[in-house]
């Protein structure tokens, strides 16, 4: 019999349009793993609701994200692609896990501290318990690996702590997940403040490039990207803006940063930037065309997220039933 494949679970919030940070830092790596793992990728719409959303936009973005997953190379036959709210076990398991999580643990989460500062008075309880829902997402699938950015490591630690706590109080129920912070996927930085990670929630649209930005917008944003006045294409800490553009080009072309530096010896920023923009446009155009086709094919889109939810419900419900049974809840 074939060895059981390890399970991967990850999710992206439909709280903003996806950037080339998501694409180069997450999506293309996920596609590279699809033959070797049993992978679940989820659009975490319930997490997005921790911040006010425009219903119409949330709907559109949720579908767009599924289309982007597929267009970026995730084969819906090989990966389970679904929408979080289509699997009610996530909400149910989150409640159960809430009863095992301490206020102090949640209060220490840096993402909560940052976000709650931003929204001020109107911090919802959902924003506070957000990591518990995330733990439910992960634990329901007996997940081994969770590919995420470094900022999510703390949340995965909490998922591990909750899993260990539950396993110790009852009996082994959950697989203890590991964060998987890929070193192949570059960390893409903000184009205006290259000391910060590129984020879909930045205020200035020139700070990020969206996967679906039209070519002329991509060119304009790259040409406006902050560099420095040294005038040499080098990869080092003193030149964060230029180094970030090198990382982008390096990830797309599979060339090492040092090779790129060599290629651009004696060549100025204008030519370098226009090459980076060309490479990005060439990389993203097929993805954009595919997203457009997918969104026009409602029946196919529906078949993707419905069959994804069917498989996810099956696995998640099994784990949920185990939890309920151990806790003394009468089977339905
Ligand atoms: P987020 O958009 O922060 O919800 O992140 C979703 C996924 O995209 C995570 O796996 C992140 O690691 C990845 N990601 C987001 N922004 C970047 C970035 N600027 N560079 C690299 N990876 C990123
Ligand atoms: N909190 C994650 C983020 O903001 C998104 C997320 C929700 C997630 N549930 C998850 C990531 C489960 C990995 C696994 O990026």
**pLDDT tens, position by position, 265-321:** 999 999 999 999 999 999 999 999 999 999 999 999 999 999 999 999 999 999 999
Q: Output phi, psi for 67, to 5 deg.
A: -60, -40
Probe target for ligand 1 pocket from 15, 25, 145, with the most ligand atoms within 8 Å of CB:
25
**pLDDT tens, position by position, 189-198:** 999 999 999 9
Q: What is the pLDDT of residue 119?
A: 77
Q: Whose CA is nearest to atom 4 of ligand 1?
A: 12
User: 22 CB less than 6 Å from ligand 1?
Assistant: yes
pLDDT band at 90 (very low <50, low <70, confident <90, very high): very high
d(CA 202, CA 180): 25
Read off the pLDDT of each residue in 137-150 and give the average, rounded to a whole number. Answer: 94
Identify the architecture of domain 205-292 in CATH. Answer: Orthogonal Bundle (1.10)
Read off the pLDDT of each residue in 185-207 and give the average, rounded to a whole number. Answer: 90
Read off the pLDDT of each residue in 118-129 and give the average, rounded to a whole number. Answer: 88
Measured CA distances, 134 to 63, 98, 121 (Å)? 20, 11, 24
d(CA 275, CA 283): 12
pLDDT band at 185 (very low <50, low <70, confident <90, very high): low
The fourth-level CATH superfamily of domain 7-181+298-327 is: HUPs (3.40.50.620)
Please state the pTM of the whole predicted model.
Answer: 0.93
- Active site members: 115, 197, 200
**pLDDT tens, position by position, 289-300:** 999 999 999 999
Say if CB 62 and CB 290 are below 8 A apart.
no
Q: What is the pLDDT of residue 149?
A: 82
User: 148 CB less than 6 Å from ligand 2?
Assistant: yes
Read off the pLDDT of each residue in 111-116 and give the average, rounded to a whole number. Answer: 90
d(CA 212, CA 64): 10
d(CA 143, CA 312): 12
Q: What is the pLDDT of residue 183?
A: 64
Closest CA to 196 of 48, 30, 21, 26: 21
| Encoded tokens for 120 | 């001020």
Q: What is the pLDDT of residue 288?
A: 98
Whole-number percent of the chain with pLDDT over 90: 87
**pLDDT tens, position by position, 209-260:** 999 999 999 999 999 999 999 999 999 999 999 999 999 999 999 999 999 9
Residue spans of the domains in the chain: they are 7-181+298-327, 205-292
Read off the pLDDT of each residue in 123-149 and give the average, rounded to a whole number. Answer: 95
Q: How far is the CA of 22 from the centre of ligand 1 (A)?
A: 5
Measured CA distances, 308 to 62, 89, 135, 150, 190 (Å)? 14, 14, 20, 27, 33
Cα dihedral 186, 190, 193, 197, rounded to 10, equals -60
Say if CB 196 and CB 189 are below 8 A apart.
yes
pLDDT band at 167 (very low <50, low <70, confident <90, very high): very high
**Residue 181 predicted with pLDDT over 70:** yes
Q: Which atom from ligand 2 is nearest to the alpha carbon of 143? A: 14
pLDDT band at 184 (very low <50, low <70, confident <90, very high): low
What mean pLDDT value characterizes the chain? 95
Q: What is the pLDDT of residue 2?
A: 57
């Amino acid at each position: 019999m074939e060895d059981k494949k390890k399970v991967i679970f990850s999710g992206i919030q439909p709280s903003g349009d996806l950037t080339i940070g998501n694409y180069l830092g997450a999506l293309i790596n996920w596609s590279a793993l699809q033959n070797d793992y049993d992978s679940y990728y989820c659009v975490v719409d319930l997490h997005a609701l921790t911040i006010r959303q425009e219903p119409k936009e949330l709907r559109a973005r949720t579908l767009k994200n599924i289309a982007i997953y597929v267009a970026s190379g995730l084969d819906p036959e090989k990966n389970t692609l679904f929408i979080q709210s289509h699997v009610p076990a996530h909400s149910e398991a989150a409640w159960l896990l809430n009863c095992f999580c301490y206020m102090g643990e949640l209060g220490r989460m840096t993402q909560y501290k940052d976000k709650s500062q931003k929204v001020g008075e109107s911090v919802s309880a959902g924003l506070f318990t957000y990591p518990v829902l995330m733990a439910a997402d992960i634990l329901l699938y007996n997940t081994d690996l969770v590919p995420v950015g470094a900022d999510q490591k703390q949340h995965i630690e909490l998922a591990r702590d909750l899993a260990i706590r539950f396993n110790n109080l009852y009996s082994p129920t959950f697989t203890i997940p590991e964060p998987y912070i890929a070193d192949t996927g570059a960390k893409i930085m903000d184009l205006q403040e290259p000391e910060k990670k590129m984020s879909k929630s930045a205020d200035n649209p020139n700070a990020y490039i969206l996967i679906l930005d039209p070519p002329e917008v991509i060119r304009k944003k790259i040409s406006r990207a902050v560099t420095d006045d040294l005038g040499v294409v080098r990869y080092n800490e003193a030149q964060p803006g230029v180094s970030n553009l090198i990382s982008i080009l390096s990830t797309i072309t599979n060339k090492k940063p040092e090779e790129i530096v060599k290629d651009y010896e004696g060549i100025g920023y204008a030519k370098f930037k226009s090459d980076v923009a060309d490479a990005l446009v060439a990389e993203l155009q097929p993805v954009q065309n595919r997203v457009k086709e997918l969104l026009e094919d409602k029946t196919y889109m529906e078949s993707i997220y419905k069959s994804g939810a069917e498989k996810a419900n099956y696995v998640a419900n099994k784990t949920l039933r185990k939890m309920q049974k151990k806790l003394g809840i009468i089977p339905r």
